[in-house]
Structure 1
């Protein structure tokens, strides 16, 4: 019979392979951070399609698969798909000493992975749900570089960050999130400008502005306070959203003919930041 350590190691190999990351530390953190420690006592409820399946026992080997584990089934909150998070974290390429902000931390599992990858850098995790924030604080006590904030990341100021990791769907990233990115900083967020447009977007702050890359389909529960567009917004089609290559603050530049989407003080453009004026 395999031990739980063997199960974790194989799970970690699968996560690293799916991520396609060249950083061997990604496999190491998935192998060393116990997922069951962030899920509460088993048996656990697995979200499968439109249904739910309960694990046959509290044996943690049941949750070392690419499965969604319910945290609050009534609210539709789950622990997240490991393959997706491995891919996102690999794409962000966290470095030692970087500063991370995690928005929508849940009970802290992926927060812990990020905290390990940037240590001795620091991580601030925002969680709006009071119960989940309380659980995350307890779960992350062993991670001295991580701090949990029970509050609204949409309205509260974010710390200057090298990485912003967003786990709730937004119609557009608030201007404050973009401003919080340091030069060279990266942000991944689930972009949900319309029901028919669920995309994951990687943003990088360059010398020329905010480059963006809609790189895969993605769906997360809505981010309270940032998930509903106002009546004046320009909502993109799926094709327009996929063509977006940069994000601008309207205070820096007014929307022009390259605009694919406009949401108040933030707009998306089809213009690549490397393109010449007029292209």
Structure 2
């Protein structure tokens, strides 16, 4: 699976891919041999035929068909660096990117995919993550969905060029993909204000949902269509917001808060997680009182028509409703 077709960069890409995988493995990101094989064999460069890098005053476009061989070398080398790659510009601003490989590896590991599992990915992106999933469980068990036709068309083309053919659906990811449910695992590559209830309804009991929430990654174990619970991973995560039939995330206010707190990534995580539910000054007092808690001390519970975030214990004294979403 995943063999490149008439690709002039095959040998150079294989060497660059090997270096990337070795670095990820050395950092402990690829302990699972199945995921190491996927990253070794799926050609990331085919999913980013062009991307943008920041330069003074804006962005520079690197692409595989550039007539300058040195710029082509830069494009290929960048495709296998452990960093996000800007893939779409709008009015001079980046609006979409290919995720950092080490973050993707951490998310896939936390997803807990096993042989025979079916997986729904919310947010098709370039198609690279769907290719990794297809390598792991097979094309027929992977579905990826995105709201924009241009994104799904491009992802489908990239996947086909790399030799993978999972189901690529154009639709509202907030509603899941009922036509291909149920799923054993659901993974989102876009940030949520709360957990769409449709996802739990389309997930088998005992399944898992992994998604960006606030500036972290929540891993929810699903009991049934109305109940799920889990904690945040240690890592930070920044993704574009999920679009479609979802509530808007509440605004985060920092006016009057100490600069030291506002500059702390962990405090901003708490601020975003509690926005609309907890006064920012109360959040700051809690953050200090609890000794600046790490992300993994926080969790989320979905139960019936309610969902809330909490610190340490879902039934403890520190809990907050998540947005205004309907579970």
TM-score, structure 1 normalization: 0.79
- 1:210 is aligned to 228
User: Highest Rg: 1 or 2?
Assistant: 2
- 1:178 is aligned to 200
Alpha carbons of 1:156 and 1:71: their partners in 2 closer, same or farther (altered >3 Å)?
A: same
**Paired residues of 1:19 and 1:83 also in contact (CA < 8 A):** no
* 1:200-239 matched pairs, under 5 angstroms: 200-206=217-223, 209-215=227-233, 216-225=235-244, 226=246, 228-229=248-249, 234=277, 237=283
- 2:81 is aligned to 65
Question: Any stretches of 5+ residues in structure 2 without a counterpart?
Answer: 1-10, 63-69, 252-274, 288-292, 309-313
Alpha carbons of 1:119 and 1:48: their partners in 2 closer, same or farther (altered >3 Å)?
A: farther
Instruction: Number of aligned residue pairs: give it.
Output: 258
For 1:100 and 1:143, how far apart are their aligned partners in 2?
15
For 1:96 and 1:261, how far apart are their aligned partners in 2?
36
Alpha carbons of 1:228 and 1:143: their partners in 2 closer, same or farther (altered >3 Å)?
A: same
Alpha carbons of 1:31 and 1:223: their partners in 2 closer, same or farther (altered >3 Å)?
A: same
Judging by fraction of residues, say which structure has more helix.
2
For 1:58 and 1:14, how far apart are their aligned partners in 2?
23
Aligned residues: CA RMSD:
3.3
Moved more, 76-85 or 86-95: 86-95
For 1:33 and 1:78, how far apart are their aligned partners in 2?
18
* 1:1-279 matched pairs, under 5 angstroms: 3-40=12-49, 42=50, 44-46=51-53, 52-55=59-62, 57-59=71-73, 60-74=76-90, 76-119=95-138, 122-141=141-160, 142-144=163-165, 146-158=166-178, 159-192=181-214, 198-206=215-223, 209-215=227-233, 216-225=235-244, 226=246, 228-229=248-249, 234=277, 237=283, 242=295, 243-251=297-305, 259-264=319-324
